[in-house]
Amino acid sequence: MKKTLLFLFLFSLIGTTAIGGVSTIKENKSVMAINEGETSMKNGESRKEFDSYINNLENFPCSFMCGNVGYRGFKQKYFTVIEHKINYLSPKEQHIIRMTMKNGLVITLDTSYYEGYDAFDWTIWIKNSASENSPIIKNFNAADYLLKGNNAFIRGILGDHEKQYAEYDFDLTKKDFIDENVIGRSTHVTFPYYDLANDDGGAMIAIGWPGTYRAKFLYDKDSQTTNFVGQGCLDFASYLKPGEQIMSPLIGIVRYYEQNEYTAINAWRRWYVDCNAPTNSDGSKFTSIQGVFLKRDIKEGATNDADSETYETWRDSYNQVINHNMDFDFRLIDAGWYVSPNGESTTTDWWGHVGTWAVDRKKWPANTFKDTINFSLERGKFTQLWFETERVTHLDDLVRNYGFDRRWAIAEHGNNELNFVNLALEDAYQWIKNRVVNMIIDNKIGLYREDFNGEPAASWAVYDAFTGPNRKGMTENLYTQNHFRLWQEVINAQLSVGGCNYIDDCASGGGRNDLLSLRYSFPFNRSDADWAMVHPHSMPLRLAFSHATFRWLPLAGVYVNEMSDGKVGMYNMRASYAPIMTYALQFSKNKNLDWDVVKRGQAEWAMINKYLSKDYYPLTPYHNVSDDKTWDVFQFMDPTSGEGIIQAFRKEKNKDRTQTVYVQGIDDDAYYSLTDTDGNNTLARVRGKALKQGYSIILDNPASAAVILIKKLS
């Protein structure tokens, strides 16, 4: 529902007729609000803050320049409100405000407050309704936000791949903080989520933009105020043609009012899960799922991406899964199922032959591709299918055989394998949309998996220059608008065949997991570095990734495959528990696969997965990806039921059989039972105050783990 409303609003702005006054949609109370008493709200301070913006638009925390004039907020002198709609979808109160400027620009502010979550967000649209080009728009800061509070600092994590989600703390009293993404994949290298903290509490802040962006945090000691400036389309500077419009990033802010890191983490997680994440197709809140990936059975190796499943290979693997009664919801068909633009089978280079999105009939003759999908459907499972929609290769062959137009391709250089479909062009958008949507509908694909293995920023800049002067950032902005338009078309196609109300946002694993993208998607694989590039699994790396990403991405996924000895093991299984699990095992080829361990892990996950999207408490410090000498302990608690889990990991070279932690999220005077699923660290009855003062966990062996169930006693 949230995505559909956003999409309809997004494209209704084009050609909208002005209507005066305020219209109100009847409140819908079917959307779940946070539990009473489980919020950090302080005397309605977040509500007062939001109202101070919405009731006096000149205070709204944004800024931009048009021509030679700078604007901060929307002063009545320059902006005339022509429409203000309020939509109530509890807990969300959405305001859509349209304003005109004398030069013909129409500004649309879409901003919402989330009652009970201390949260608000906004997106800004600027459209040229005049008959001639607009003045140049630049310094388009979606956020120009001030937060009071002494001794400000930033907590955050770095991006995926070479930065490996490393955590950081940055003292703003010593230096300004500037974070820039210049490559065009929002969570590669950088990560646009920030905990701006000070003595009085703080704000969890996100820039929802999949491309380039900048975040600046400037602390002023005299006023004890931090200025957060956030923009997408780095250094945008362009005029708008008649009828053109640009959009800002989605800015998300969740306030908290005490200096407590756990309070900050869980204020964010609660809002993200309840108010930002996509729902299931029936409108219910997303529930944990698991799937199987059969491709690793083809031959030895980590991912076998040069090869693909074929009509001859899949059935043995699938039969092993079924015969061993594995629990799963979906089956992933990965890269390599498509034919090369020249008509040849993609047997050696999956990356260098994309663009057709037509089935390779040598691998899948006649109806065999539909047969394998129907095999899943007959068993109540859906198929997840890999695409890399935005990249095209072998352009001459695509033109000759598939109706592609060379003018639709943009590239940084002459690399035949790194051309992007220019989604900023309507004809290019329609071509790729039709190919993908038809493939989904014709084959009843339940879940579209979108990979993105390239850095587009330089290519966007090339096309900006090609279109003429004073158009910096326009390609990226129009491209991004149509990218989300494509995602909504894909979701609609999936729903039409009984599939999902979301997509799998892959982008080399963790490359494009910004807040706006995650309104349409889930990262089923939070990082390629967490499995495909590190084979066999590195448990210290996996645990470091979990420690960091659980803070910001409560509903991300993890892949599971064997360790170097060909075994799975409960240490591996438990380190992999996440809301989305994909089993990438060698189901048929590995004759020594311990199915009992796999089934035991699945049963344990089924018992505890409901807690993984609840409140999160990292009970040990962050350790880097190569640290194999420490313990990692995580706690998840449901504040409503008083139930939860502790996950404890004694790593491979650790010499301490005992780790003491301080249990969180519990009541001092209540009594709890702690039950170790292995039977070793069980307490039948213990007071909450005692657990807060210290609970010692024992693991006799390195490279081992425990799952401990917490239950509040009556």
The Cα–Cα gap between 458 and 589 comes to 43
Whether residue 41 is predicted with pLDDT greater than 60 in this model: the reply is no
Structure tokens at 147: 């937060």
Q: DSSP letter string over 398-465?
A: HHHHH---GGGEE-SSS-TT-EEE-TTSHHHHHHHHHHHHHHHHHHT-SEEEE---S--HHHHHHHHH
Comparing 580 with 40, the larger pLDDT belongs to 580
Whether residue 7 is predicted with pLDDT greater than 50 in this model: the reply is no
Q: Convert the pLDDT of each residue in 531-579 to its tens digit.
A: 765 666 789 999 999 999 999 999 999 999 988 888 899 999 999 999 9
Comparing 418 with 644, the larger pLDDT belongs to 644
Residue 350 binned pLDDT confidence (cut-offs 50, 70, 90) = confident
- Which pTM value belongs to this model? 0.93
| The pLDDT of residue 656 | 98
All residues at 6 or more sequence positions from 57 whose CB lies less than 8 Å from its CB, including other chains = 73, 74, 75, 76, 79, 81, 97, 99, 109
| The pLDDT of residue 416 | 54
Whether residue 427 is predicted with pLDDT greater than 90 in this model: the reply is yes
Whether residue 395 is predicted with pLDDT greater than 50 in this model: the reply is yes
Whether residue 35 is predicted with pLDDT greater than 50 in this model: the reply is no
Residue 421 binned pLDDT confidence (cut-offs 50, 70, 90) = very high
CA distance readout (Å), 520 to 206, 379, 430, 480: 16, 27, 20, 14
Bridge partners of 182, per DSSP, are none
Residue 3 binned pLDDT confidence (cut-offs 50, 70, 90) = very low
Whether residue 30 is predicted with pLDDT greater than 70 in this model: the reply is no
Residue 19 binned pLDDT confidence (cut-offs 50, 70, 90) = very low
Q: DSSP letter string over 65-121?
A: EETTEEEES--TTT-EEEEEEEEEETTEEEEEEEEE-TTSEEEEEEEEEETTTTEEE
| The pLDDT of residue 306 | 53
Query: Per residue in 407-435, is it b (16+ CB within 10 Å) or e — as a string?
Result: ebbbbbeeeebbbbbbbbbeebbebbbeb
| The pLDDT of residue 531 | 78
Q: Lowest-confidence range among 22-31, 47-56, 80-89, 418-427?
A: 22-31
Tokens 């633009």 belong to 341
Q: Convert the pLDDT of each residue in 278-327 to its tens digit.
A: 999 999 999 999 999 999 888 644 444 556 899 999 999 999 999 999 99
> H helices of 508-594, where?
539-552, 570-575
| The pLDDT of residue 42 | 65
All residues at 6 or more sequence positions from 324 whose CB lies less than 8 Å from its CB, including other chains = 595, 598, 599
φ, ψ for residue 624 (rounded to 5)?
A: -70, 170
Q: Convert the pLDDT of each residue in 681-700 to its tens digit.
A: 999 999 999 999 999 999 99
Comparing 78 with 10, the larger pLDDT belongs to 78
Q: Convert the pLDDT of each residue in 582-607 to its tens digit.
A: 999 999 999 999 999 999 999 999 99
Whether residue 79 is predicted with pLDDT greater than 70 in this model: the reply is yes
Residue 566: which region, alpha, beta or left (left: phi > 0; alpha: psi -120 to 50)?
Answer: left
What number of other Cβ atoms are within 10 A of residue 304's Cβ? 18
When pLDDT is averaged across residues 444-466 and rounded to a whole number, the result is 96
What number of other Cβ atoms are within 10 A of residue 444's Cβ? 18
Q: Lowest-confidence range among 146-160, 403-417, 508-522?
A: 403-417
The Cα–Cα gap between 513 and 183 comes to 14
379: helix, coil or strand?
coil
Q: Lowest-confidence range among 99-113, 265-279, 408-422, 538-552?
A: 408-422
Chain mean pLDDT for the chain: 92
The span from the first CA to the last CA of the chain, in angstroms, equals: 38
When pLDDT is averaged across residues 109-136 and rounded to a whole number, the result is 98
What number of other Cβ atoms are within 10 A of residue 466's Cβ? 10
529: helix, coil or strand?
helix
Q: Lowest-confidence range among 24-28, 72-76, 260-264, 649-653?
A: 24-28
630: helix, coil or strand?
coil
Q: Lowest-confidence range among 200-204, 252-256, 528-532, 644-648?
A: 528-532
CA distance readout (Å), 611 to 282, 639, 710: 22, 10, 11
**Closest to 710 measured CA to CA, from 656, 606, 648, 636:** 636
The Cα–Cα gap between 632 and 571 comes to 12
Q: Are 504 and 537 in contact (CB under 8 A)?
A: no
When pLDDT is averaged across residues 262-274 and rounded to a whole number, the result is 98
The Cα–Cα gap between 46 and 51 comes to 9
Q: Are 489 and 483 in contact (CB under 8 A)?
A: no
When pLDDT is averaged across residues 394-418 and rounded to a whole number, the result is 87
Q: Convert the pLDDT of each residue in 503-533 to its tens digit.
A: 999 999 999 999 999 999 999 999 998 876 5
| DSSP 3-state percent helix, strand, coil across the chain (nearest 5) | 25, 30, 45
When pLDDT is averaged across residues 316-339 and rounded to a whole number, the result is 96
| The pLDDT of residue 154 | 98
Q: Are 14 and 245 in contact (CB under 8 A)?
A: yes
The Cα–Cα gap between 341 and 404 comes to 10
The Cα–Cα gap between 115 and 104 comes to 35
Whether residue 8 is predicted with pLDDT greater than 70 in this model: the reply is no
The Cα–Cα gap between 41 and 81 comes to 31
Q: Lowest-confidence range among 192-201, 307-316, 425-434, 621-630?
A: 307-316
Structure tokens at 424: 């900023």
Structure tokens at 506: 């892959």
Bridge partners of 503, per DSSP, are 521
